[in-house]
Structure 1
Amino acid sequence: MMEELERLRVENRQLRQARASHAVVDQAIGVLTVLGQLPPCDGFTVLREVSQHTNIKLAQVVEQALKHGQGAALPDVVLGELHAALARQAASRPV
């Protein structure tokens, strides 16, 4: 009984963390939607591509995107890859 209770507590904690992370990612997608003029459905793809191509963890890319939305400069490597990812998304959209 105690093992099951502890397992449920751990699962509950993980779900709360996932929900909080998801909210932050959604905010970063909103920044990209406004600044990058792309549909929200493409926002996560752009964030993931920037993370993969720069070898920076997704959580860090999300954090940088949020700060950028508040006026902070992006590191050059992230900025360059962000532009490339936005261009790839624009090219893949139907005209």
Structure 2
Amino acid sequence: MAPEEDVEARVAALQEEVAQLRQAVASHAVVDQAIGVVVAVGRLRPEQGWEVLREVSQRTNTKLREVAEYVVQGAHCRWLPDEIHRALTDVLARVRSASAGR
């Protein structure tokens, strides 16, 4: 491989890595915001907010980032897709009752 091609390949690989890191940072921010919404609405501890989002993601077979985006948007427009809404309601009720029993 010529030195110019090696440099071009390395630049392309670094650009791809930067794009992936930017996406990861953005996803992390949305997940953190969604945890805050769940904590506030559900009157939960932050670690419980994380568990609620994770469980809703698993129950609905929806990526965690997507669940987080729905939750954050839903806080503003007061709408969630039915499947996400049902799962979130069920999981919040279960977590709240488990916390009350302690």
State whether structure 2 residue 91 is matched by structure 1 residue 85. yes
Match of 2:3 in 1: none
Deviation (angstroms), 1:6: 2.0
State the Cα deviation string for residues 56-78 of structure 1 (Å, max 9, x = none): 23232112111221142223322
For normalisation by structure 1, the TM-score amounts to 0.81
Q: Distance in 2 between matches of 1:39 and 1:23?
A: 18
1:7 and 2:13 are equivalent in the alignment: yes
**Highest CA radius of gyration, 1 or 2?**
2
Structure 1, 25-34 or 79-88: larger mean CA deviation: 79-88
Q: CA RMSD in A?
A: 2.1
Cα deviation code 1:25-80 (max 9, x no counterpart): 11111100100111112222211211111222323211211122114222332222
2:74 is the alignment partner of 1:68: yes
Q: Please, which of 12, 21, 26 is the counterpart of residue 27 of structure 2? A: 21
More helix by share: 2
Taking every aligned residue pair, what percent have the same amino acid on both sides? 47
* Stretches of 4+ aligned residues off by more than 4 angstroms: none
SS in 2 for 1:8: helix
Could you tell me which runs of 5 or more consecutive residues in structure 2 were left unpaired when the two chains were aligned: 1-5
